[in-house]
Amino acid sequence: MTYENVLLFFGALALFLYGMKMMSSGLEAAAGNQLKGTLEKLTTNRFLGIAVGAGITALIQSSTTTTVMVVGFVNSGIMNLTQALWIIMGANIGTNITSQLVALDFEKVAPIFIFIGVILVVFVHKKKFYYAGEIIAGLGILLFSMNLMQDSLAPLQQEPAFIDLLTKFKIPVIGLLVGLVFTAILHSSAASIGILQALAMSGSLSLENSVFILYGINIGTCVTSLVSSLGSNRNAKRTAVMHLTFNVIGAVLFSMVTMFTPFVPWIVSMWPHSPAVQIANLHLIFNLSTTIVLLPFGKYIVKFSEKILPDRPEDLLTEQHLQYLEPSILKVEHHKVGAIAIFVTQLQRETERMLSMAKINIGRSFDAVKENSEKAQDTIWNTEEYIDYLNKEISYYISHVIALEMVEQDSVTINAFFKITGNIERLGDHATNIAGYANLMEEKGLHFSAAALAEVERMRQVSMEALDLIYQFKDIGTTGILLEKMKSSEQLIDDLTREFRRNQMERLAKGSCSGESCVIYSELLTDFERVGDHLLNIAEAIDQAKIVDFSPAEDMCPVLEGIA
């Protein structure tokens, strides 16, 4: 094999990976939100989960992308472990689409795909056509690269050293390790399978020599999900362990079948004239069969992952979870006398946690602007994700309980909490907006004047005092007093906003601040004003609900320290 062949191979491999990336990027850009939405709305039905996992992976051309997405959903509490397992099983089936496309021998029309795709990307300015162009061009590049790889690898069939190496690939352990390591390096099982197909089409590799490598590839594809779970919560790590467990069991089972039955000769006899089809179909049979065999044992795979990674008390400090609301409250048979009162208490405590987090983030966001630093961004965003999680979960509980029979005041109170949590969620959004200005200023090398920074500090002080009014509520005595105080506080925020805008225009006229800084400061003032609006909305909802105690629970401190 010459130096030119080696260069051609690596160039073809780069094109293959780039083609996959183009297809994946185009599809995710065109339908990414819908794909994520489909996963989020997934029910616990195992067959639906497998179908969704297979369909989405077939579309985005990457089981790795699907699995990493699932790890993220589990980490945020959107999806449980059982749901994640069905998606992973489906993803392993859907990943076969790339090898099947290669096996169909479309490389002759690949230049047409590339030409059409590039025309759409370069000359058509509508986004949907641009994304379609990326998908079509990516597919063309992928297929075209296979032809180049096949040509670059053809000389290997004449290399004695490579022929000798093939005999070692027949040893199960060596074959599995080669496939695992190679795929771990490429971060793509589709690319690894593609290289096997290119070797087979060039006449350099037979199915008998590559079968154990193929099984190892399925284990190697788990590496990315394992890496993505690092730093995530316990359940996200368990999701990656389930993915690894599923593929290891499949590899072991198929290795035994291959060693003790004429399975591989049967595959060869079914498609004797197409080595690429042999590899593609064996890959499909591997994933379909493993899914069918392990489907009844899903709950045991989940339990195994929990056994490998048991719960730790310290995890509750950082993992997103409901501390007060309990699933049992949603069961109709549990709605006995006093159940609604219990639910209202749980709802109140959970909402207090959410407001505490929003208060912390508001303070952090103003601090980030004053220090002109983006260092606090990760902490602020993590807390914001927790706030969003609580809003979603609390809303879910309210929507189920509100349909039950209850007295009018309980109904009013529960509805008020729905309004409160919605406004707290918006407070969290404004906190991330304010923190985002720090990031923007850091990137652009901008700074506020000393006068502007003094005003930012005043905004922080007034915002925190307004938030403190909610926490002081149990000492105020009546709801009417809280509402009146909050109206005064909101009016102060409005007055300060107008005053600071005037000051800003004066500084701009004097040239003591740049135009870009002025625009950012104006946006910051808008968020400051909106904070006051949402706090007034919360006070009005508390007054409407006649809530008698809305202050942070004492046992909330460890949780808040965990996200600090």
Same domain, 442 and 349: yes
Same domain, 388 and 277: no
The answer as to whether 321 is a domain residue is: no
**Average pLDDT over every residue of 91-120:** 80
- Identify the three-state secondary structure at position 547: coil
Q: Which of 59-63, 117-121, 214-218, 285-289 has the lowest mean pLDDT?
A: 59-63
**Residue 322 counted as domain residue:** no
Both 200 and 345 in one domain: the answer is no
Residue 482 domain flag = yes
Cα gap 459→363, rounded to integer Å = 10
- Cβ-based neighbour number of residue 221 at 10 Å: 30
Instruction: Give the model's pLDDT for residue 140.
Output: 85
Mean pLDDT over 318-332 rounds to 66
Q: For 179-206, what is each residue's pLDDT tens digit? A: 888 888 777 777 788 888 888 887 777 8
Would you place residue 488 in the very low, low, confident or very high pLDDT band (cuts 50, 70, 90)?
Answer: very high
% pLDDT > 70, the chain:
80
How far is the C-alpha of 463 from the C-alpha of 451, rounded, in Å? 19
Question: Is the same domain home to 422 and 502?
Answer: yes
Burial pattern 349-387, b for ≥16 Cβ within 10 A else e, equals bbbbbbbbbbbbbbebbbbbbbeeebebbebbeebbbbb
The whole-number average pLDDT for the span 278-295 is 91
Report the pLDDT value the prediction gives residue 166, as an integer from 0 to 100. 62
Instruction: Let me know whether 83 and 123 are in one domain.
Output: yes
For the segment 425-454, the average pLDDT, to the nearest whole number, is: 88
Torsion of CA 321, 324, 330, 333, to 10 degrees: 140
Containing structural domain, residue 447:
330-562
Please state the domain count of the chain. Answer: 2
Q: Average of pLDDT values for 560-564? A: 44
Residues 53, 123 share a domain? yes
Q: Which two tokens stand for residue 174?
A: 């060596």
Segment 535-560 mean pLDDT = 64
> How many CB atoms lie under 10 A from the CB of residue 467?
22
Q: Residue 388 has what pLDDT?
A: 92
Would 313 be classed as within a structural domain? no
pLDDT recorded at residue 473: 55
Same domain, 294 and 384: no
Helical (H) or strand (E) element with 478: none
Range with lowest mean pLDDT among 122-136, 159-173, 209-223, 363-377:
159-173
In a domain, 58, yes or no: yes
Lowest mean pLDDT among 22-26, 202-206, 528-532: 22-26
Q: Which of 308, 340, 367 is the last residue of a domain?
A: 308
Number of CB atoms found within 10 A of residue 455's CB: 21
User: Would you place residue 426 in the very low, low, confident or very high pLDDT band (cuts 50, 70, 90)?
Assistant: very high
pTM over 0.85: no
The answer on 334 and 302 residing in a single domain is no
Average pLDDT over residues 399-425: 84
Residues 379 and 236 in one domain: no
Q: Domain check: are 89 and 133 in the same one?
A: yes
Taking only the tens place, the pLDDT of each residue in 131-174 is 888 888 888 887 788 778 777 777 766 676 766 666 677 788 88
Residues 215-249: tens digit of each pLDDT:
998 898 888 778 767 756 677 788 889 989 999 99
Report the pLDDT value the prediction gives residue 312, as an integer from 0 to 100: 66
Give the CATH number of the domain where residue 420 resides. Answer: 1.20.58.220
Last residue of a domain, one of 308, 342, 365: 308
Same domain, 266 and 413: no
Cα–Cα distance for residue pair 435/311, rounded to 1 Å: 33
Mean pLDDT, the chain, whole residue set: 80
Q: Please check whether residue 505 lies inside any domain of the structure.
A: yes
The reported pLDDT for the residue numbered 327 is 65
Question: In angstroms, what is the C-alpha Rg of the chain?
Answer: 29
Residue matched to tokens 């609006």 = 533
Within a domain: 315 = no
Residue 33 pLDDT > 50, yes or no? no
214, 215, 216, 221 alpha-carbon torsion, rounded to 10°: 90
pLDDT at position 44 over 90: no
**What's residue 334's pLDDT?**
42
Q: Is the pLDDT of residue 128 over 50?
A: yes
C-alpha span between 110 and 93 (Å, rounded): 25
Let me know whether 360 and 394 are in one domain.
yes
